[in-house]
Amino acid sequence: MHPASPARGYLPAHSTPAGAAPQGVCTAHASPGDLAVTAAEPAFARQFGLGAAEICGHSLLDLLRSQVPARLREQFTALSEGLRRRFTERVTGRDGAGREFTAEMTGTAVKSRSGEIVGLVVVLRPTGYVRKPGGNDGAVDSGAPVLSALDAQVLEGVASGESTVQLASRLYLSRQGIEYRVGQMLRRFDAPNRPALVARAHALGVFAAGQWPPRVLPERVT
């Protein structure tokens, strides 16, 4: 496949210092169906250690990963087939040094005047680098969500095994209010249920180590 020229109008982003968190929102275009990159901002290509011309022809599914790979493929298929207009997903990728970074990705379908899907636009917002267990590579942590003080209390209660009724009584909220906040955190942490939410929060270093009952780290609370 011959690499396509980068789309006009892209503005190059500033380079990222070694060891620092990735910065800036960057964009790429891809063809529907095979998801091959057809054009990309230099900043998008640099996230993967490539040039803007080099990245063309690479599949988005080779560059980006999600916790549920099949779902990411399904999301792109739905875009390509016109079944949805847009989606947002938390993803990971690897830079030129092999470091794994995290990002929030939004995919959007581009239609012609006749309604045919003629392309996909991917907007990538890097959020940090994944710290390897026991490692000291200078990378920031995996970009876990920062919580409000109330959400932190709800998460601590869930991690302690409190029920919705118990949480509502202790925090002076309605049961619907607790369920709403838990539901929001399930989506933010990309977790299917409460046990997975707690496990995901532990994996991302949200809780202080070795404490019971669980306590969210102060730097994770706004």
Residue that terminates a domain, selected from 98, 129, 160: 129
- For residue 100, which of 85, 90, 89 has the smallest C-alpha distance? 90
> pLDDT digits over 54-87, tens only?
999 999 999 998 877 688 899 999 999 999 999 9
Q: Are residues 158 and 121 in the same domain?
A: no
Percent of the chain whose pLDDT exceeds 70: 82
Question: Does 3 reside within a domain?
Answer: no
Digit-coded pLDDT (tens) for 157-169: 999 999 999 999 9
* 11 belongs to a structural domain: no
One DSSP character per residue, 31-82 reads -TTT-BEEEE-HHHHHHTT--TTTTTT-BHHHH-B-SSHHHHHHHHHHHHTT
Q: Examine the domain organization and report whether 102 and 53 are in the same domain.
A: yes
Instruction: Give me the pLDDT at residue 210, please.
Output: 77
pLDDT > 70? residue 1: no
Q: Is 163 among the domain residues?
A: yes
Is residue 173 helix, strand or coil? Answer: coil
Q: Please give the radius of gyration of the chain, using alpha carbons only, rounded to the nearest integer.
A: 20
Task: Name which of 132, 121, 130, 146 is nearest 44 in CA terms.
Answer: 121
pLDDT at residue 142 tops 80 = no
Residue 3 pLDDT exceeds 70: no
